[in-house]
Amino acid sequence: MSVVAGCSLFDGVLLAADCRATIKLPKCKDIHSDNVLKIIAILPHTAIGFAGNIRAASYILQCLLTDLKNKKRKDPISLANWIPRLFRHRFRKYVSCHGNCTINFMIASVIKDRPNIVKRLEIFELIRMIGFGNSPIKRNWIPALLFNLLEKSGEKDEWIDVPNTCRNVLYTLCSPDFQKQEVPILKFAAIGTGKSCIEEIQRYYDVIFSWQPGNQGQETMWLRKTIQQFIEDKNINSVGGLYPVIKLTGKKDPQHIGLSTEIPIGGTKIELIFDPDSYQWKQKNITKGKEIPIIMPWDFLESIKPLIKVNTFNDLNDAYRDFRG
């Protein structure tokens, strides 16, 4: 199974997902393989993540990519109206041939000709959380963006434009009906086995959304740490590997955000890198010379052998555990 989390930020949408597949074999323990890509940028302004049955997801996503080639209207609003209908149709065909299953999707887009708008009350709530909330990370300062938005708006304004941004679109679709569940701006959602990580995201809400608004490095770091810590604390074995992240903003292309860390400084070096030419993520333990690529779900299905072996990348958690003693 898996976890896919999405955050609708001030200046764009952030998607993160694990990369573990769980293979169930009769009379054997579950086999885990950390090399399935679960978030994919399908257009410059749109990305999609999935959780659930990999074969069903692979079939539906390939149908989506094929149909997109001949579709004239590819703006986020048109896609949001069309994709649920397509998924319902393709899912019924898949189930009729292979039997029932569960598959969930999360779709993120940005509308380039409209700015983000946020509720004035939500900005006050963020300021309250920073000053008096229960966030595990304490600070004695408030980002300038929050003050600037309040200063430039009128006291009677319910909604405030966020300058130099694009309108966020984030929603989930769940089988079998794939009814669109929208996620408002400055809110978040998760799908998959680890979807209850939203409890932990809520605890770190002000840190992820407003530690340094617009700083993708900080936003990504806190989101990854929050999910990883939750999965480790809850001992959810069906979620694992490193976490690819995609951020959609008004920029020309989606931003694929990797990581590079040493635990401790000078110790085990872990990297997650993205190669735009091959559209492939790679997980690396530089210290041990270990590398596991993260591949498209249909490529993963082709690579499965009758006697598949465990192919996990727990190196980041192991490094933290060794460091803590």
Rounded Cα distance, 156 and 158, in Å? 6
How high is the pLDDT of residue 1? 63
Closest residue by Cα to residue 119 from 73, 79, 153, 96: 153
How high is the pLDDT of residue 198? 93
Task: Identify whether 185 is part of a domain.
Answer: yes
Closest residue by Cα to residue 7 from 179, 176, 221: 221
How high is the pLDDT of residue 100? 95
Each residue's pLDDT, cut to its tens digit, for the chain (325 residues) gives 689 999 999 999 999 999 999 887 766 777 889 999 999 999 999 999 999 999 999 999 999 999 999 999 999 999 999 999 999 999 999 999 999 999 999 999 999 989 999 999 999 999 999 988 888 888 989 999 999 999 888 777 899 999 999 999 999 999 999 999 999 999 999 999 888 999 999 999 999 999 999 999 999 999 999 998 898 888 888 899 999 999 999 888 999 999 999 999 899 999 999 999 999 999 999 999 999 999 999 999 988 866 577 789 999 988 888 887 7
With contact defined as beta carbons under 8 Å apart, do 208 and 226 qualify? yes
Q: Domain containing 53: what range?
A: 3-113+167-324
Task: Identify whether 309 is part of a domain.
Answer: yes
Task: Identify whether 122 is part of a domain.
Answer: no
Compute, in degrees rounded to 10, the torsion defined by CA atoms 260, 265, 268, 270. -10
pTM, 2 dp: 0.94
Task: Identify whether 282 is part of a domain.
Answer: yes
Residue 41 makes CB contacts below 8 A (sequence gap 6+) with 47, 246, 248, 253, 254, 256
Number of domains composing the chain: 1
Task: Identify whether 100 is part of a domain.
Answer: yes
With contact defined as beta carbons under 8 Å apart, do 236 and 228 qualify? no
Task: Identify whether 132 is part of a domain.
Answer: no
Closest residue by Cα to residue 247 from 18, 65, 75, 7: 7
How high is the pLDDT of residue 310? 77
Structure tokens of 135? 């966030």
Q: CA-CA distances (angstroms) from residue 309 to 19, 155, 292?
A: 16, 62, 13
CB atoms within 10 A of CB 199: 12
With contact defined as beta carbons under 8 Å apart, do 203 and 135 qualify? yes
What CATH number does residue 205 fall under? 3.60.20.10
Task: Identify whether 155 is part of a domain.
Answer: no
Task: Identify whether 108 is part of a domain.
Answer: yes
How high is the pLDDT of residue 303? 85
With contact defined as beta carbons under 8 Å apart, do 311 and 35 qualify? yes
